[in-house]
Amino acid sequence: MTLLEQLHKKIETRQARISVIGLGYVGLPVALSFARAGFRVTGIDSSPAKIERLKCGETGITDVSSDDLQATEGRFHPTLDYAEIRDQDVVIICVPTPLSKTKDPDLSYILDAVEGLSGYLRPGGLVVLESTTYPGTTDEVVLPVLSRSGMKAGVDFGLAYSPERIDPGNKQYSFSTIPKVVGGITPDCRALAASLYGQIVERVVPVSSTRTAEMVKLLENTFRSVNIGLVNEIALICDRLGIDVWETIEAAATKPFGFTPFYPGPGLGGHCIPIDPHYLSWKLKALNYSARFIALASEVNASMPHYVVEKVVGTLNDMEKSVKGSRVLLMGVAYKADVNDERESPAIEVFEILTAKGARVSYHDPHIPKLRLNEGGVRSVNLTTQTLKRADCVVILTAHRVFDAAFIVRHARAVVDTRNVTRGMAAEHICRL
Ligand SMILES: NC(=O)c1ccc[n+]([C@@H]2O[C@H](COP(=O)([O-])OP(=O)(O)OC[C@H]3O[C@@H](n4cnc5c(N)ncnc54)[C@H](O)[C@@H]3O)[C@@H](O)[C@H]2O)c1
């Protein structure tokens, strides 16, 4: 039996020992899914605070509860120490892939993880990259580092890419019910990765290469970014034409084929949609090709926080107030509903533009007790009738389920609603996007 056939057998019998590097929104659910399925899992993270929290039974992630940790029955072991990879069979990399200040891919986290594990990878092991990245990362960046040991991919060790499609806050689709795409450096590597994920997800979708698997993820997120850009532009157009964009989308969505509804909002947020398409355009720049849809969608989406501020200024103007000195309360600063993640949230920009214009801005978000701004941080205020009444304008930026739109409308002097949570309410003091 070859080394990779031996690993295959260990995976199928759930004897394989698995390490997951990076225990965030992606890595922790992956690690716990394997542990719940009976695998012994070592979780490696570079943050001592995160490892301490996990050891105390706290996850820090809304979708992953302490009960999920308990359900692993001691098979999940969090650590800071890469040396523990020494006796592992599978290593899955789930570290961040942000943009640099110049909006270029920042692969430093992937490189740190690959360098960190390379000295401990043993013959017969499998490495899977899950971080979102541009096509070519696995074979052009990861493979050369792992090959320095003299071992050969597809013979001595396996290497694969499998994009993560988890959708934080989504109650309908969970890790196990979302099909998992896998591509390998060789067909044997792909078969190993397919057998690995086949243990914990209902459906695995093998593709012909790691580059295709990397491209699948970027297609999915570029599709979202472009469609959100389109519908945001439709919102701007409807505004000029005096047409209700929400009513328009709702009616268009009754077409049973050929139309998928997307909804406007205050701008893009999160660790994926505003960032991932830039990985693709960066890669294409090197090939002298300009990814035009990506650039245009990004331009429209990036203008939305300014549009929201325009609406606030207009609303205050109708009340014969200037934005300078007015009290503005932002409802929700997480980038989307029901998550405790404010990364790239458009609320941050809305907050900062309004503050720069002299408004006295505060926010309420039950999921984000403290918001980091460019200059310092602010704390969420309590939501009471008094807080609402005191504000000159209340801006609904995130549609958290706990927000009671009727309560907000009843007590606020003016409401700018960027999420259509006040749908059907006919009050004069509501301004919808
Ligand atoms: N968050 C999502 O909804 C989502 C969905 C699909 C794909 N992704 C992709 O998955 C990847 C991870 O995203 P995330 O949201 O889980 O990020 P995250 O910031 O929540 O978690 C990343 C973790 O990696 C740790 N880390 C960083 N460098 C490390 C290193 N060298 N060694 C060990 N640990 C390290 C950090 O401390 C952190 O805990 C990114 O590429 C992202 O684009 C994210």
Q: CA–CA separation, 89 vs 10, rounded Å? A: 9
The upper half-sphere exposure of residue 13, i.e. CA atoms within 13 Å in the direction of its Cβ, equals 7
Assigned domain for 278 exists: yes
* Phi, psi dihedral angles at 332 (to 5 degrees): 90, 120
Under DSSP, the state recorded for 287 is T
Distance 267 CA to ligand 1 centre (A): 22
**121 and 238 part of one domain:** no
**388 and 241 part of one domain:** yes
* Phi, psi dihedral angles at 38 (to 5 degrees): 110, -5
**410 and 316 part of one domain:** yes
The upper half-sphere exposure of residue 390, i.e. CA atoms within 13 Å in the direction of its Cβ, equals 15
Residue from 20, 59, 81, 94 to probe ligand 1 pocket by mutation (most atoms less than 8 Å from CB)? 94
**198 and 276 part of one domain:** no
210-241 and 245-252 helices cross at what angle (nearest 10)? 130
H or E stretch including 127? strand 126-129
**294 and 325 part of one domain:** yes
**67 and 112 part of one domain:** yes
Assigned domain for 260 exists: yes
Whose alpha carbon is nearest atom 43 of ligand 1?
132
Q: Which domain holds residue 308?
A: 228-432
Under DSSP, the state recorded for 380 is P
Q: CA–CA separation, 336 vs 338, rounded Å? A: 7
H or E stretch including 221? helix 210-241
Assigned domain for 162 exists: yes
Tell me the Ramachandran region of residue 382: left when phi exceeds 0, alpha when psi lies from -120 to 50, beta otherwise: beta
Long-range CB pairs of 163-167, under 8 A, 24+ apart, other chains included = 163/130, 163/132, 163/213, 163/214, 163/216, 163/217, 163/220, 164/26, 164/30, 164/94, 164/130, 164/131, 164/132, 164/217, 165/217, 165/220, 166/25, 166/26, 166/29
Q: CA–CA separation, 426 vs 433, rounded Å? A: 15
* Phi, psi dihedral angles at 165 (to 5 degrees): -115, 10
**257 and 392 part of one domain:** yes
Q: CA–CA separation, 349 vs 347, rounded Å? A: 5
Cα end-to-end distance, the chain, whole Å: 63
Domain count, the chain: 2
Residue of 74, 171, 129 lying closest to 401 (CA atoms):
171
Assigned domain for 293 exists: yes
pLDDT digits (tens, 9 = 90+) for 53-112: 999 999 988 788 899 999 899 999 999 999 999 999 999 999 999 999 888 999 999 999
**Ranges under pLDDT 50 in the chain:** none
Q: What is the pLDDT of residue 174?
A: 87
Residue from 164, 273, 340 to probe ligand 1 pocket by mutation (most atoms less than 8 Å from CB)? 164
Whose alpha carbon is nearest atom 24 of ligand 1?
22
Whose alpha carbon is nearest atom 7 of ligand 1?
164
Question: Token pair for residue 215?
Answer: 């491209």
**255 and 201 part of one domain:** no
**76 and 192 part of one domain:** yes
**239 and 291 part of one domain:** yes
Under DSSP, the state recorded for 105 is B
Assigned domain for 219 exists: no
Rg (CA), the chain: 24
What residue ranges line ligand 1, CB within 6 angstroms?
21-27, 44-47, 50, 94-97, 109, 112-113, 131-132, 164, 166, 168, 271-272
Q: What is the pLDDT of residue 348?
A: 96
∠ CA(274), CA(279), CA(281), 5° rounding? 100
Q: What is the pLDDT of residue 175?
A: 87
Assigned domain for 222 exists: no
Atom number, ligand 1, closest to the C-alpha of residue 167 = 3
Predicted TM-score (pTM) of this structure? 0.92
User: Of 208, 236, 256, which closes a domain?
Assistant: 208
Q: CA–CA separation, 111 vs 46, rounded Å? A: 13
In the residue annotation, 272 being an active-site residue is answered as yes
Assigned domain for 216 exists: no
User: Of 160, 179, 208, which closes a domain?
Assistant: 208
Distance 361 CA to ligand 1 centre (A): 31
Assigned domain for 346 exists: yes
CATH number at residue 102: 3.40.50.720
Residue from 114, 271, 273 to probe ligand 1 pocket by mutation (most atoms less than 8 Å from CB)? 271
Strand residue runs (E) in 252-386: 327-331, 360-364, 370-372, 377-379
**79 and 32 part of one domain:** yes
Strand residue runs (E) in 288-396: 327-331, 360-364, 370-372, 377-379, 393-396
Q: CA–CA separation, 19 vs 207, rounded Å? A: 24
**184 and 242 part of one domain:** no
pLDDT digits (tens, 9 = 90+) for 323-345: 999 999 999 999 999 999 999 99
Residue of 303, 189, 414, 351 lying closest to 427 (CA atoms):
414
